[in-house]
Amino acid sequence: MKIFALETSARAVSVAVTENGVVLASAYQNTGLTHSRTLMPLAENLLRGIGLTVRDMDLFAVAAGPGSFTGIRIGVAAAKGLAFGAERPTVGVSTLAAMARNVAFADGLIVAAMDARRQQVYEATFRAENGTLSRLTPDRAVSLADLSAELSGETPPILVVGDGAALCADCLNAHGVACRKAPPHLIMQNAVSVALEAETLPESGYVSAGDLRPVYLRPPQAVPLRERLNGIEDNRRNREKGAL
């Protein structure tokens, strides 16, 4: 099965094609340019370079969240468009599970973390044994203090991966939870791991392009702001009615 995978959940952007666990090609860019400028050229050049088209793919996989709201939306929209044109199914992959897949070879506890701001991380914990990952927690938004307390009884090796790895590892070590960061070439999100994680998912999880959805662990900041503005407007209208 050929899988075309996209990863846009954070600052970097990447695409990859795998076939039955073998990486056929991948492209990665972490230059600070917006995903709206870089994603589709990467995808087009990758396919052109290996002489394949979207119709040669069997499945389109995308890191569906958690992560940057804008980044996730761009990745999911691109996957939907490519899959729709190729008339192929899609699958949304947990960003955190894909990150853990980077270091599944390293036996021990794996903490996949993304910086969620406000002293929180998007996080999931896994155990790796003989290359197999076992999920220990759901994807969640958790405070660094709570995560440190939760892991306080765990013993090394504990490996932290993801764009929140430095923040998370510093906090854990400061609270007496001995851990280390994944090496630089394995620490960040990438489309290869999205594809490899997709291969482990059952076909029952595949959906049509129209049914593919992003996964947000908390609403975008714009939503609460809109709700507050709507509340202010409702209060104003109520005051005006009361004055009549």
Q: Give the domain CATH number at 170.
A: 3.30.420.40
* Confidence at residue 225, expressed as pLDDT on a 0 to 100 scale: 47
In a domain, 125, yes or no: yes
Alpha helix segments (H runs only) across 117-199: 144-150, 165-174, 191-199
* Confidence at residue 22, expressed as pLDDT on a 0 to 100 scale: 97
Q: Is the pTM of this model over 0.75?
A: yes
Burial string for 26-40 (b: 16+ CB within 10 Å, else e) reads bbbbeeeeebeebbb
* Confidence at residue 217, expressed as pLDDT on a 0 to 100 scale: 80
Do 195 and 90 lie in one domain? The reply is yes
* Residues 19-50: tens digit of each pLDDT: 999 999 999 998 877 898 899 999 999 999 99
* Confidence at residue 242, expressed as pLDDT on a 0 to 100 scale: 58
Do 111 and 84 lie in one domain? The reply is no
In a domain, 54, yes or no: yes
* Confidence at residue 34, expressed as pLDDT on a 0 to 100 scale: 87
Do 210 and 90 lie in one domain? The reply is yes
Do 112 and 89 lie in one domain? The reply is no
In a domain, 244, yes or no: no
Do 147 and 208 lie in one domain? The reply is no
Closest C-alpha among 24, 19, 75 to residue 189: 75
Do 52 and 89 lie in one domain? The reply is yes
Do 150 and 30 lie in one domain? The reply is no
Do 86 and 46 lie in one domain? The reply is yes
In a domain, 156, yes or no: yes
Q: Which DSSP category does 182 fall into? A: P
Q: Which domain holds residue 85?
A: 2-96+190-223
Do 195 and 130 lie in one domain? The reply is no
Q: Tell me whether residue 96 is exposed, middle or buried, using C-beta atoms within 10 angstroms of its C-beta: 0 to 12, 13 to 18, 19 or more.
A: buried
* Confidence at residue 98, expressed as pLDDT on a 0 to 100 scale: 98
Token pair recorded at residue 117: 């701001």
Decide: helix, strand or coil at residue 166: helix
d(CA 93, CA 97): 7
Q: How many domains is the chain partitioned into structurally?
A: 2
Do 172 and 200 lie in one domain? The reply is no
Long-range contacts, 169-173 (Cβ 8 Å, 24+)? 171/144, 171/145, 171/147, 172/111, 172/147, 172/148
In a domain, 160, yes or no: yes
Token pair recorded at residue 35: 């995903």
Flag residues of the chain having pLDDT under 50.
221-225, 228
Do 86 and 194 lie in one domain? The reply is yes
* Confidence at residue 237, expressed as pLDDT on a 0 to 100 scale: 63
Long-range contacts, 153-158 (Cβ 8 Å, 24+)? 154/109, 156/108, 157/106, 157/107, 157/108, 157/109, 158/108, 158/109, 158/110, 158/111
* Confidence at residue 186, expressed as pLDDT on a 0 to 100 scale: 96
Query: Which residue is listed with tokens 């990745």?
Result: 75
Residues comprising the chain, all counted = 244
In a domain, 234, yes or no: no
In a domain, 232, yes or no: no
Token pair recorded at residue 51: 């002489």
Do 142 and 212 lie in one domain? The reply is no
In a domain, 241, yes or no: no
